[in-house]
Amino acid sequence: MVKTLNALFFALSVGLLIASCNFPYQPSQFILPPPNFIFPSKSDMLNFIGNSSANVKLAFTLTTTVSDVYFIDYNNYNDSAFLPQQLKKPKGMESFNCARSRISPDGSFVAYYLTEGATINGSYIQRLDTAATPVLVDANGTEPHWWQDSTGLYIIYSNVILVPTTGGINQGIGQTFKRQVDLTGNGAVAGPSQVIAPYPMNGGLSANGQYLCTGYESAAFYDVFNSLLIPINKGFQTCNPSIDPDTAHPGWMMFLNFNGVQSMNNPFIGAADYPDSSLAEHSVLFIVDYTNTVRDYVALSQLNAVYGGYSEWQTPEWSNNPQFAVAVGVINDAQADGIIIKNMGNHTATKTFLKFTLGKGKLNIESRPYIWIGK
């Protein structure tokens, strides 16, 4: 009898335990939250590029406490874990801000410079590898661009970040240099710096080596072959100059506008997709040649017709492929989306756009994106 009661008590106890624990246990499946940074799939990216076998890399700066260079490589695309990779800074300079992030012609390195306020802290090249260490090009170098000819690969840079707001572009305020680099292994400089212009030209050198360009308080080309400064859009400040990489258009550059009716020969005023002639700041991305003639443009309204919600353009940069450029569409003072633009420099072709920051993770208003497209 005692054994029977004990057995009954045990069975009741187990039953109560099972009931109290919701037995059998059926947990809800744990699902990882989506990453903040979500990028277009590889197929979406290549469909936009129009080449199913293209190699594509993106680089950009992003500010948390300070600005760092990040990159993503579509050759190593993984839909389940595709996150920006952060590059190391020079030792002891971790608190400085990285500016620009231009990828080398072969897609293996990036060039950038460091700043602390308006102080230059050097131009660097660095392999696109999280373990790579930076290689100093010039301790007083800023706005580095890649340039290549039959003699080798060079970094084009100046020693003045922004042309002074008074006095315009005059000899004596700064210079532009080129310095040969070697991308073997970790990379290295391969010779002394050479002065190529008696002015600080921060927008790069044309593919044929003839034209440098610059902007900010004053915009201009510099004809290296003829030692000639060519002012552009006189009386208007411009932002973010970038030389056309197309060998067919050596004297073209891209920049952002400031307020007002611009001082250029513009055959597009009055066109259906051209905004009001008295332009809002950073509302048009202009492409202008050395005769001060507008060759093409991308209006913010064209972007907003596709995605909507952007207050201005910022930090445009031409790709190594002249058909493409990249810029940021500003959402607010703290956030911006990375935007790839197709059909640059060809006004007869409709501009198309691809937003590449698809998740909660956004760029900053001063992020400096770059897209490299390899065959």
Given this model, what pLDDT does residue 338 score?
98
Q: CA–CA separation, 83 vs 72, rounded Å? A: 7
- Tell me which CATH code domain 36-374 carries: 2.120.10.30
- pLDDT at position 375 is 85
Q: What is residue 275's predicted lDDT score, i.e. its pLDDT?
A: 85
142: CB partners within 8 A, 6+ apart: 99, 113, 115, 120, 123, 157, 158, 159, 160, 161, 202
Check: CB of residue 284 under 8 Å from CB of residue 298.
yes
Q: Which long-range contacts (CB under 8 A, 24 or more apart) does 183-186 make?
A: 183/104, 183/106, 183/108, 183/109, 183/125, 183/127, 183/153, 186/127, 186/132, 186/133, 186/135
User: What is the structure's pLDDT at 15?
Assistant: 46
Residues 6+ apart with CB under 8 A from 158: 141, 142, 143, 174, 175, 176, 177, 200, 201, 202
Chain-centre distance of CA 278, in angstroms?
A: 28
- Tell me the torsion sign for CA atoms 231, 234, 235, 236: negative
Strands 352-355 and 336-342: antiparallel
pLDDT at 79: 66
Residue by residue, DSSP assigns 227-294 as: TEEEEESTT---EEEEE---TT-TTEEEEE--SB--SSB-TTTT-TTS--SSBPTT-EEEEEETTSBE
Give the model's pLDDT for residue 167: 58
Q: Where are the beta strands (DSSP E) in 74-215?
A: 85-86, 97-103, 109-116, 119-127, 135-138, 142-149, 152-158, 176-182, 188-189, 194-197, 211-214
SS (H, E, C) 275-328: CCCCECCCCEEEEEECCCEEEEEEEHHHHHHHCCCCCEEEEEEECCCCCEEEEE
Distance (Å, whole) CA 215 – CA 253: 10
Strand 228-232, strand 219-223: pairing: antiparallel
pLDDT computed for residue 23 by the predictor? 36
Supply 290's token pair.
């050395």
Closest C-alpha to 328, from 360, 295, 353, 291: 353
Residues 67, 85: Cα–Cα separation, whole Å: 14
Give the C-alpha separation, 143 to 123, whole Å: 7
- Do 249 and 267 form a contact (C-beta atoms < 8 A)? no
- Rounded-to-integer distance, Cα 112 and Cα 93, Å: 14
* Residuewise pLDDT in 10s, the chain (375 residues): 444 434 443 444 444 433 333 334 444 444 445 578 999 999 999 999 999 999 999 999 999 889 999 999 999 877 666 889 999 999 999 999 999 899 999 999 999 999 987 789 999 999 999 999 999 999 999 999 999 999 999 999 999 987 665 556 777 789 999 999 999 999 999 999 999 999 999 999 999 999 999 998 889 999 999 999 999 999 898 999 999 999 999 999 999 999 888 999 999 998 888 887 778 999 999 999 999 999 999 999 999 999 999 999 999 999 999 999 999 999 999 999 999 999 999 999 999 999 999 999 999 999 999 999 998
Q: Which two tokens stand for residue 240?
A: 């973010």
* Whole-angstrom distance, CA of residue 8 vs CA of residue 349: 85
Amino acid present at 170 = N
Q: So what's the pLDDT on residue 30?
A: 47
